[in-house]
Amino acid sequence: MREGWRSPAVALGAVLAVGAVLRLLMVLAWQPGLFGWPDAASYINVSQGELFSNELRPAGYPLVLLILHAITPSITLVVVVQHLLGLATAALLYLAVGRTGAPRALGLIPAAIVALGGDGIFLEHAPISEAVFTFLVAAALYAAARSLGDRGLAWPMLLGLILATAASVRVVALPLVFLLAVALVAVTAAPLRHRLATGAAVAAGALAVLVPYQVAAELSVGKSGLSRNGAWNIYGRVAPFADCATFTPPPGTERLCETTPRSRRPLTAHYTFNWYYSPAIRSFGDPHSATRQQTAQVTAFARAVILNQPLDYAEEVGAGLLRYIAPESFRGYGGGPSYRGLVHREILFHRTFQTLGREVAAEYYTDAGRFTADRTLLSALRGWESVTRVQGALFLALAALAAGAPLLTRGLLRHASIVFVLVAGTLLVIPVATVEFSARTAVPGFGPLGAAAALGLCGLVAAVRARRRSPALTRSPQPLDLGA
């Protein structure tokens, strides 16, 4: 082991060890797992039935549950594997930062965010998709870093394969296939022919997953697509402020128009799933049963709202993004759960859905009926979560460093900064723009945000030291070796 990175490696081991202890305490505090998010029961049902049957979610995570069930029918196994994936995610982010040429010590920033973050630990303890998705995102970042520093095509192809696999778990990863392929073509200094081959390799890797997925879906349910009725989520996003007085609704969608003032309308989830509140459900069925024609009409209405009320849409999304800084504020703009609501209130611990989830799981898992809880230990873990949230000043600092990374660095560091920022920005912005702010969907973006911030900090420290050495220095500073 080289002296230059021995100390950071030891520090990483310490971070992972603390993360492992926290996860062990979580397993002891609540067994066998958390079912309060209603998706948990749905994922389990789909995994034991038709993998491609859900019209809103892709089949990737149910397939993971099916594989683990084949090993042994235990929710505890699912939870333990997801906790191990959380630790592996932290290690991959550390390695990804190190592959950019930045000091390895800076890789401890994203590693600590993931390994020690209480919100991620609670989400790993539930049979929902975050742990698997976040691990795949970290693997993609590592493959991207290797692609930037390697002239071969194996890593770019692996990058495309990983991103497509991540998209089969959460659709938000799908734009990253295009964005990172373009980034690898645009930012590197290799000859144009090689850069084009690199982009093609990313596309080929993605198609190697997406084409068989679509074929399997078509053969299984006669429909293709990762989220066939996903437009219902966007309808739920725009319905709270849609004003048909400002545009002519597409033919057949007039019934979706409302005159109720914005302040008295329900929030996103009600429009997407609740018959009483949603004109779309009363008119066109629901997201799980609507036909393609019905979904097309919902899509047309949502598109018309965005195109004709762009400032209103920008206000809604902008206010939702501000909840990354102040999660308890701006609740009227989407209304998804804050971190307090996720962990300390009735989201992951929702009594009705906990009962339903355990009943569904008990049909397929041998340990689902055995429930135990250590309230004292759970309270301590909730306390840990409350001091490790990525919000407020911490989020602002990470976001500022990440945004500055492409400006403060050069060479491989700059190229990696652009890629890391693209990944973090996509994971943090698209869920808010298409559904709502939610503590659940926020967590997967924090690791990439920390990785981009690490590169920004590298460039910032180098710039400050270069200016101290020579106030007249105008060239871009070299990164510093902080590895010792």
Condensed to tens digits (0 to 9), the pLDDT of residues 83-139 reads: 999 999 999 999 999 999 999 999 999 999 999 999 999 999 999 999 999 999 999
- DSSP type of residue 254: G
| Residue 180 CB burial class (10 angstroms; 0-12, 13-18, ≥19) | buried
| 3-state helix vs strand vs coil in the chain, percent to 5 | 70, 0, 30
Cα→Cα distances 157→52, 162, 194, 201, 426, Å? 26, 9, 13, 5, 21
Q: What is the pLDDT of residue 179?
A: 97
Q: What is the pLDDT of residue 4?
A: 47
Q: From the centroid of its chain, how far is CA 17? A: 24
**Distance (Å, rounded) from C-alpha 33 to C-alpha 122?**
10
**Distance (Å, rounded) from C-alpha 240 to C-alpha 246?**
15
Cα→Cα distances 358→51, 53, 123, 363, 452, Å? 20, 21, 17, 9, 39
Q: Which amino acid, residue 114? A: V
* Model pTM score: 0.93
Q: What is the pLDDT of residue 478?
A: 55
Tens of pLDDT, residue by residue over 256-282, are 999 999 889 998 989 999 999 999 999
**Distance (Å, rounded) from C-alpha 108 to C-alpha 258?**
51
Instruction: Kindly report the length of the chain.
Output: 484
Strand pairing class (372-373; 30-31):
antiparallel
Q: From the centroid of its chain, how far is CA 441? A: 5
Stretches in the chain below the pLDDT threshold 50: 1-4, 473-474, 482-484
Cα→Cα distances 367→76, 351, 355, 372, Å? 7, 19, 14, 11
Q: What is the pLDDT of residue 473?
A: 46
As given in the structure block, the two tokens for residue 155 are 């890593």
Q: Residue 309 pairs with which residues in a beta bridge? A: none
**Distance (Å, rounded) from C-alpha 126 to C-alpha 250?**
41
Contact predicate 128/396, CB 8 Å: no
Q: What is the pLDDT of residue 316?
A: 94
Tens of pLDDT, residue by residue over 384-426, are 999 999 999 999 999 999 999 999 999 999 999 999 999 999 9
Q: What is the pLDDT of residue 27?
A: 97
Q: Residue 372 pairs with which residues in a beta bridge? A: 31
Q: What is the pLDDT of residue 332?
A: 81
| Residue 307 CB burial class (10 angstroms; 0-12, 13-18, ≥19) | exposed
Q: Which amino acid, residue 205? A: G
The alpha-carbon radius of gyration of the chain (Å, integer) is 23
Q: What is the pLDDT of residue 477?
A: 52
Q: What is the pLDDT of residue 465?
A: 85
**Distance (Å, rounded) from C-alpha 265 to C-alpha 255?**
16
Q: What is the pLDDT of residue 201?
A: 97
